[in-house]
Structure 1
Amino acid sequence: MYRYPGQFSRLKRERWTSLKQEWEGSYLNESQTVEKYVEQQTKSIKGAFNKLRSWYKREQRESDLDAFEEQPYQFKYKSLPELKRHFLKELYEFQLNWASSTILEKSALKKAYYFDPTLKWLLQSLPDNYFILYHPIVKYPRATVEFDILLIGPTEVYCIVHLAGTERTIFQTFSERYWLRKDGSQEKKIINPFLSLNRMSTVIKRILDDTEIEMTVRKALVTNEGYIDVNVAWSGAEFLDQRNVKQWEDKLKNNKSPIKSVQLKFSQALLNVCQTTSVSRDPIEEDDGIVQEEEH
């Protein structure tokens, strides 16, 4: 927890820089074959992740790196944006594999997560100095509460409820318990998202108080494509829809603050009270796999 974020950011940056240089070089030097570039890139990827694998072994952490390594980049992409999209796709899959495994345990990851547009948006749009907990189940102190989304920044914690909609969707208040989701002429009642939002913020504030950690707690309702037609004055929350969600993204991206110790401390305290469903994996087999891979 305390060393991985910095390692991940550095290796991701180095790999993208290397990939970009190799891709540009494939156009500048036509005398070299595509196969040579693929071989060079594969060695670069393997070298970078052998470093990460060694660190995991020392820190008793393990992520399934093979899924990311076994697909060498092929320089068949005609433009840099196309290359970047492919890079982000594989990076996203690697993040999911890491998040669902340790050196001793592995969780069965729902296939839906690989195609979840909200999770993909969060991981690919927000900077690495923000940590994401996606629908965690928190046991604190005696109650079990299923959260929506937590975004943990260097000095602040966002409690987020995401509202799925389309470009025509409008969300409006209806009663204390229900809101209305309007899609053209169609209306549907949904549970008031503030019930979940307030429940999350209450638990988070209590954990902060009990651990004597000082961080600002913020609340936000988010819909990437629809509109939230609600009076914001009384709510104490941010309303982010297609009119301003991009500005919110940019604000977080422009936060150049490094990962802080208070952020790591709170993240660890929160993970300690999160429910985990996993099965044991054979550490001997995993270690053997690491050694064999490193010897090639």
Structure 2
Amino acid sequence: MGQLIKLRDYISRYEIDPYHYTGQYIRLKKHQWERINKAWEERQFDPYLVPFPAEPDHGEEKASFWEKWPFRKQREHEEPVSESSSFAAEEDPDMLFSHVPASNNDLKHEFLDKIYRFQLKWASSTIREQSDFDRRYFYDETLQFFLKRLPDHNLYMHNAVLEVKNAAVEIGPVLITPAGIQCISWITGKKEDILVGSGERFWTIKSGKYTKKTLNPLLDLHRTTTIISRIIKSRGIDFPVMKRLIFEHGYADFQTPPYEVEVTDKRCFDEWFSKMRNLSSPIKHDQLRAVKAILDCTLTRSRIRSDWEEKGN
């Protein structure tokens, strides 16, 4: 899975230390998958199932809500959980299932769903702070594509807000790979749609008998690329930055191909995607330097978590 290093103006763990968290994420995901896959294969999956409250016997005093749910409330004879333990738990994904997956493929899909939600948590909170999270990102198809379908060494920024000349500027999708940075314009559309591009402010999407206008996506793409390139160069980092227009399900039609823009439509999407999936490379030092430089220029809105304030920190 790709790593979500920045989402809008939310606080992200990667802002604290991208060198640490990129490696920790890969180790954590690998460890969790090995444990859960082994449990499934050996038919010892019960520890990963959500515990349901047991009905009390008629002769017993009815248990309280908290007592019926293990781990929710400490028993009197238990030692209190230390802060370091509770903080460590914050770093782990939720791996409880409501049922035993029917196949290993089902297990993989449900595991990816849980890691996806875990990434949204890392991209909107730290142990000490959190941002107000928009739940629509649970279902964002573009975000899910870059996180669920690409390898771990791809570091992704979604709708990030940067500070440019004392102004807040939201940029488009940015994918930071070991080979370079791809500034992306992702255009949604139906199968067999035709995107007619030009040098005008508005383009046309032909869908069957219908035609609609859409704002020229290259305007935002050029702006994103310019901002990212300036940040990289200002830090003395020699790392490629390119523009990519993606129209997964339809065809992009140009009288004159756009300058210095890689166009990925239905005719070549599978080839591009296969190349991205099959690239075997560790995360590179210059890649992380580029990530650090960009994150240093992002804006963040967050507040102290209520549970942290209660601890008096």
Given that 2:49 and 2:100 are in contact with CA atoms closer than 8 Å, whether structure 1 keeps it comes out as no
Q: Report the TM-score, using the length of structure 2 for normalisation.
A: 0.76
- The CA distance in 1 between the partners of 2:283 and 2:228, in whole Å, is 19
Q: Which moved more, 1:166-175 or 1:103-112?
A: 166-175
Residue in structure 1 matching 2:31, options 14, 18, 24:
14
What is the DSSP-based 3-state SS (H/G/I as helix, E as strand, rest coil) of the residue aligned with 1:100? coil
Q: Could you tell me which residue of structure 2 aligns to residue 47 of structure 1?
A: none
Given that 1:131 and 1:151 are in contact with CA atoms closer than 8 Å, whether structure 2 keeps it comes out as yes
- Kindly tell me: are residues 162 and 237 of structure 1, through their superposed partners in 2, closer, same or farther at Cα, counting changes over 3 Å? same
- TM-superposed deviation, 1:233: 4.4
Q: Which moved more, 1:189-198 or 1:6-15?
A: 6-15
Residue in structure 1 matching 2:189, options 161, 165, 170:
165
Superposed CA offset, 1:23-51 (max 9, x none): 1211xxxxx7x536759xxxxxxxxxxxx
Q: Could you tell me which residue of structure 2 aligns to residue 224 of structure 1?
A: 248
Given that 1:151 and 1:158 are in contact with CA atoms closer than 8 Å, whether structure 2 keeps it comes out as yes
Q: Could you tell me which residue of structure 1 aligns to residue 119 of structure 2?
A: 95
Given that 1:63 and 1:101 are in contact with CA atoms closer than 8 Å, whether structure 2 keeps it comes out as no
What is the DSSP-based 3-state SS (H/G/I as helix, E as strand, rest coil) of the residue aligned with 1:270? helix
- Which structure 2 residues correspond to residues 49-198 of structure 1 after superposition, within 5 A? 64-65=90-91, 68-69=93-94, 72-73=96-97, 76-198=100-222
Q: Could you tell me which residue of structure 1 aligns to residue 284 of structure 2?
A: 260
- TM-superposed deviation, 1:54: 6.1
Give the % identical residues.
Answer: 35
- TM-superposed deviation, 1:282: 4.6
Q: Could you tell me which residue of structure 2 aligns to residue 202 of structure 1?
A: 226
What amino acid maps onto 1:199 in structure 2? R
- TM-superposed deviation, 1:224: 2.4
- TM-superposed deviation, 1:120: 0.5
- Kindly tell me: are residues 221 and 252 of structure 1, through their superposed partners in 2, closer, same or farther at Cα, counting changes over 3 Å? same
Superposed CA offset, 1:246-268 (max 9, x none): 22122122222211221112211
**Are positions 1:25 and 2:42 aligned together?**
yes
- TM-superposed deviation, 1:240: 1.5
- The CA distance in 1 between the partners of 2:249 and 2:86, in whole Å, is 39
Superposed CA offset, 1:76-126 (max 9, x none): 221111111111111111100111011222011111100001100110011
- Kindly tell me: are residues 234 and 226 of structure 1, through their superposed partners in 2, closer, same or farther at Cα, counting changes over 3 Å? closer
Gaps of 5+ in 2: 1-17, 51-82
Structure with higher RCO (Cα < 8 A, 6+ apart):
2
**Are positions 1:236 and 2:236 aligned together?**
no
- The CA distance in 2 between the partners of 1:135 and 1:36, in whole Å, is 38
Given that 2:49 and 2:98 are in contact with CA atoms closer than 8 Å, whether structure 1 keeps it comes out as yes
- The CA distance in 1 between the partners of 2:295 and 2:89, in whole Å, is 17
Residue in structure 1 matching 2:238, options 205, 210, 214:
214
What amino acid maps onto 1:12 in structure 2? K
What is the DSSP-based 3-state SS (H/G/I as helix, E as strand, rest coil) of the residue aligned with 1:172? strand
Given that 1:23 and 1:75 are in contact with CA atoms closer than 8 Å, whether structure 2 keeps it comes out as no
Given that 1:136 and 1:274 are in contact with CA atoms closer than 8 Å, whether structure 2 keeps it comes out as yes
Q: Report the TM-score, using the length of structure 1 for normalisation.
A: 0.80
Superposed CA offset, 1:49-90 (max 9, x none): xxxx96996xxxx89557x43x52355221111111111111
Given that 1:125 and 1:249 are in contact with CA atoms closer than 8 Å, whether structure 2 keeps it comes out as no
- The CA distance in 1 between the partners of 2:166 and 2:46, in whole Å, is 58
- The CA distance in 1 between the partners of 2:236 and 2:191, in whole Å, is 43
- TM-superposed deviation, 1:14: 2.1
- The CA distance in 1 between the partners of 2:47 and 2:85, in whole Å, is 29
What amino acid maps onto 1:25 in structure 2? E
Aligned pair count reads 263
Residue in structure 1 matching 2:303, options 279, 289, 293:
279
- The CA distance in 2 between the partners of 1:63 and 1:100, in whole Å, is 16
More helix by share: 1
Gaps of 5+ in 1: 27-31, 40-52, 289-296
Residue in structure 2 matching 1:35, options 21, 46, 59:
46
